[in-house]
Structure 1
Amino acid sequence: MRAAVLLLALATMPLSACALQPVYAGGGDGAVASGLSGIEVSPIEGQSGWLMRDALIERLGASGAVPTRYRLDVRLDNRLEGLGLLKNDTIGRERRTLRARYRLVDVATGAVMLDTTSGSDAGVDVVSSEYATIAAEQTALENLTQVVADRIVATLALKLRDQSREAER
């Protein structure tokens, strides 16, 4: 038993020297968490914009307790295209694509801290029931919004972590 514990301890020693560090070091009071909660999300037009803004606000944890330091401007490209023609020349499959171009702007200086894109897509089966197809398209949009919002917040967190590291130097 002691030999197994010693072997495990020796095996994990190299891991302590690796360069991996937690993004959310310091928990809710850390630089990244407080930076994310200080981001104001600008209004985004359309239904997909409303869904995206809501998802981003939820993930950023903006409660109003932290003063606004950054503004997030997002433009969405939401497309639905038919794929896979059936023998009777009807569409059998659709692809819903959601792309977001976003910019993180420092409110005090107006400097653009980050300008990049993120996106995802999903397939939708077109069935004989028009209602079921519309419901599937809507569900795909809702799911894509969640995926893209997660990617945006992850990118913002990494940017804020790198920025806080540079400030410490």
Structure 2
Amino acid sequence: MNRFLLLCFVALLGGCTLRPLYAGGGKGHVAQTLQSIDIAPIGGRAGWLVRTALEDRMGKGGSGSKYRLEIELDDDITGFGIRSGNAITRERRTLRARYRLVEASVGTVLLDATAGSDVGVDVVSSEYATVAAEQTALERLSRELADQIVSRVGLYASRFPAAP
């Protein structure tokens, strides 16, 4: 019975239109497109972290890049969980990005999307520990945002055939 189910699964899988996003590895169309994107500078510490994470995942574009990625960040920390003395016990750090993939030569916007994530931070009696937790949260959020952006841009690139 198990062999029958396996054969049915394999037969159905053959008709499936799923294909790997990064087919061809570093020489594939999506990887080459990601490497041809120049990431515009992003202000602030959060911007530097997001830009660095994107460069780690996509590679550095450069001045002759075919595309430019423009990103605007919104970094927010909101306190909640109030103690009896009006002291905050918990914070939520939210990092949101609006990003645009632009064709560098003509300035046409090819993709306009958003990404975002948030994380909770415990507020403790040590101010140093709280600031360190907030910074760690920002680093994690920056990596998460970069993953979301690369996935979405990669998906966009996979929908178009390789240029001749």
Judge same fold: TM > 0.5, yes or no.
yes
Question: Counterpart in 2 of 1:11?
Answer: 9
How far apart, CA to CA, are the structure 2 residues paired with 1:127 and 1:6?
Answer: 58
How far apart, CA to CA, are the structure 2 residues paired with 1:98 and 1:159?
Answer: 23
Question: Counterpart in 2 of 1:148?
Answer: 145
Contact 2:37-2:61 within 8 A present in 1 as well? no
How far apart, CA to CA, are the structure 2 residues paired with 1:48 and 1:120?
Answer: 13
Q: Deviations over 1:35-84 (max 9, x none)?
A: 000000010000000001100111102376x9511000011000011111
Letter in 1 for 2:40: S
Matches within 5 A, 1:7-86: 8-62=6-60, 67-86=64-83
How far apart, CA to CA, are the structure 1 residues paired with 2:106 and 2:135?
Answer: 39
2:135 to 122, 135, 138: 138
- Aligned-residue Cα RMSD (Å) equals 2.0
Quote the offset at 1:4 in angstroms.
5.6
How many correspondences in the alignment? Answer: 164
Quote the offset at 1:10 in angstroms.
3.6
**Which one is further off, 22-31 or 138-147?**
22-31
Quote the offset at 1:27 in angstroms.
1.6
How far apart, CA to CA, are the structure 1 residues paired with 2:50 and 2:2?
Answer: 50
Quote the offset at 1:143 in angstroms.
0.2
Contact 1:36-1:62 within 8 A present in 2 as well? no
2:126 to 98, 114, 129: 129
Question: Counterpart in 2 of 1:119?
Answer: 116
Contact 1:59-1:153 within 8 A present in 2 as well? yes
How far apart, CA to CA, are the structure 2 residues paired with 1:115 and 1:43?
Answer: 17
Matches within 5 A, 1:92-103: 92-103=89-100
Identity %: 51
Letter in 2 for 1:124: V
Superposition TM-score, scaled by structure 2 size: 0.92
Q: Which runs of 4+ in 1 moved over 4 A?
A: 3-7
1:110 to 107, 111, 114: 107
Q: Which has the higher helix share?
A: 1
Q: What are structure 1's unaligned runs of at least 5 residues?
A: none
Q: What are structure 2's unaligned runs of at least 5 residues?
A: none
